[in-house]
Structure 1
């Protein structure tokens, strides 16, 4: 793992090569900090264009909470001095008998003021990659880095709702559960769910009304990665 100790908490720093085709490109995965806020907001705007709701783009107050309340869950990937991807997470307690929730409920609308320092699960609040860099495997690198954080913290799992942006086009002929089954069996490809499967995430349950998301008809699939050491 790639942690450096600071006065307050261990900080994540990893230097890697990613690939643009066959060309190795140096990159850094690290915690994001206050000086990165402007770049992170621009990243969100470029990564989630309409019809994604503009009000869900990061605000400075939200980012401030991320670095103040749970800096271990606030990471970004940098290439050539530019932030080209980010991932934000928080700790929560997952009740296996009551999995229904919305993104707004569980993440406090992205402000994470309900972050539980003793939570048994790392919940993915957001992941985004600049469109021009999406052929380099950066999302998978960020996800695997957060798996390392799960192991470092000694907690049970990483979990979060995955959008289903391909579902709206298929809704007339299949239910949300049937759509997820089709993605898992390889009969259907979904930009988000297929990516999460490639990252080792496993489907748990379909969530309705998860996020205002026209492409997913507001559905999401709760998907987890379990700590293999527990």
Structure 2
């Protein structure tokens, strides 16, 4: 089970927080956080159910994390190990088993980000970045090749008459345009590697997502070590 304590900052003052694997005792609070983090027009049927959360904690507890301050959960992140090569096309439903992570495969090469959310009142404290960095540690611990996830591009709706989705992705990558989610993930160390159409029902993103990865810097050494053991 994953657990660590560290500092985040609120109005330039250090605040102690805990990142840990969430459990069945947290389900009601996690659902409340989802409701606050993804208000309408985000589809309510895409918010976590207790059945989905139960799968997260039973199939891969090291990849189902929450962050709490003063005993109150303020955000969560969920992941699963899967086999995905490069930027091959897929949808959120396909790769995550519609959020139930039946697709979790310990022998896979990629830690896939199923969901990340932080309640609006705590979004200035760097908790989203902290949760993603915690998954980078999971990638290294499990000796995986990379972390991957589909990134919403909610800023696209306002400029969709001017740019194609690919053009929008490239302009945000170059810093010419700003997207609240994609730009945030770039600041967290993620790199855009492709575009996925019909990824998830998302009006603001026109149902597109940008596939963004973080590569394990130790992976080449891990491969060499594995090869040395084989031979």
Shared fold per TM-score greater than 0.5: yes
* Equivalent residue for 1:38, pick from 18, 24, 28: 28
2:75 matched to which residue of 1?
Answer: 85
Q: 1:101 aligns with which of 72, 90, 98?
A: 90
Tell me the equivalent position of 2:41.
Answer: 51
Post-superposition Cα deviations, 1:100-149, rounded to whole Å, max 9, x if no partner, equal 11101110110011211111100000000000000000000000010011
Distance 1:226 1:190 in 2: 22
Counterpart CA distance in 2 for 1:94 and 1:15 is 32
In the alignment, structure 2 segments of 5+ residues that lack a partner are 220-231
CA distance in 2, matches of 1:123, 1:136: 24
CA RMSD of aligned residues (A): 0.8
Of 61, 68, 81, 1:71 maps to 61
State how 1:1-230 maps to structure 2 within 5 Å. 11-96=1-86, 99-230=88-219
TM-score by length of 1: 0.94
C-alpha distance in 2, partners of 1:72/1:154? 14
Q: 1:167-199: CA deviations, max 9, x gaps?
A: 011100001111111111111111110011001
Q: How many residue pairs end up in the alignment?
A: 219
CA distance in 2 between counterparts of 1:186 and 1:222 reads: 17
| Gaps in structure 1 of 5+ consecutive residues | 1-10
